[in-house]
Amino acid sequence: MVELTRCVRFCLNRIPAPESGKFNTFSAWPAMSGLGRYYELLVTCRGEPDPQTGYFLNIKAIDTAVRQHVLPYLQTIVAPGEDPSQVPMGKLMQRIITLLQQPLNASVIRVRLALTPFYQLQIRSCDMDHVILRQQYEFAAAHRLHVPELSDEENRKIFGKCNNPSGHGHNYQVEVAVKCPIDNNGHIATVNKIDQLVDNEIMERLDHKHLNEDVDAFANLNPSVENIAKVIYDWLVVAMDKENLKLEVVSVWETGKTRCTYPAGVLS
Ligand code: NI
């Protein structure tokens, strides 16, 4: 079995223009018209490739299914006179995956809608009662990687420049993935609610701090990106639990090239 993921990019403009941008599906089709709305939909299907063609599913079938079935539905939500800010997002995600399941022979296992470059909603066919909400954040902090039990020479050998006695800084990027129940009205927790919890539990404690000096959790714990991801998860999971939200995964980027995710192997 394989999993195939296709990203479909499109704009929702007030006046639907299905022909606009059909020559540039890389950017978006329909293309942007004036001040429109841009989204990405990532559709993941699972199945067995055909032994002759090597195809499990023609990606054009996914593009067609999104543009023929999902886009007209989304257009009705942003139509003049409607208020898209009040749309029940849990119900919307259920509808999107259902609309795709019929034309794609029920091979769709998950759908992820990128509402901004930093905020995404995902629904999985195995759990239609929840939406996974992903939101990103940034904080600036200094740290020094140092183990007191080791000699200065050993510390320099293991940690290199990161052992600099005065420390050094990073702009850390954080992504949280939260499992939100869909209520009877089709709503899920708002991203504002998640932002508030992250602000209280994480940003207040870490932003513009020297992790070794200012943060108790790192008084006797080396502030590696691995330990930072775990500490953030442990703080946030408790606060989320009180709000009936399940924190699934925390990812921390120390640089654009280095990311640590905790716990491992929870979500794909
Ligand atoms: Ni560092």
- Reported as a single tens digit per residue, the pLDDT across 115-124 is 999 999 999 9
Least confident of 17-21, 185-189, 259-263: 17-21
**CATH assignment of the domain containing 247:** 3.30.479.10
Q: Is the pLDDT of residue 21 over 60?
A: yes
Domain stop point among 125, 153, 175: 125
Q: Is the pLDDT of residue 65 over 70?
A: yes
Q: What is the pTM of this model?
A: 0.93
Q: How far is the CA of 251 from the centre of ligand 1 (A)?
A: 16
Q: How confident is the model at residue 18 (pLDDT cuts 50, 70, 90)?
A: low
Q: What is the domain range of residue 114? A: 1-125
What are the backbone dihedrals phi and psi of residue 233, each rounded to the nearest 5 degrees, phi first?
-60, -50
Q: What is the pLDDT of residue 27?
A: 86
**Between 165 and 32, the higher pLDDT residue:** 165
Which residues have a catalytic role annotated?
Answer: 162, 208, 254
In a domain? residue 130? no
Q: How far is the CA of 176 from the centre of ligand 1 (A)?
A: 21
What is the mean predicted confidence (pLDDT) over 160-168? 97
Q: Is there a contact between 13 and 36 (Cβ–Cβ < 8 Å)?
A: yes
Q: What is the pLDDT of residue 68?
A: 93
Q: What is the rounded distance in angstroms from the CA atom of residue 120 to the CA atom of residue 105?
A: 25
In a domain? residue 171? yes
Least confident of 17-26, 96-105, 121-130, 132-141: 17-26
In a domain? residue 198? yes
Does residue 112 share a domain with residue 180?
no
Does residue 94 share a domain with residue 141?
no
Q: What is the rounded distance in angstroms from the CA atom of residue 236 to the CA atom of residue 229?
A: 11
Q: What is the pLDDT of residue 34?
A: 85
Domain stop point among 83, 99, 125: 125
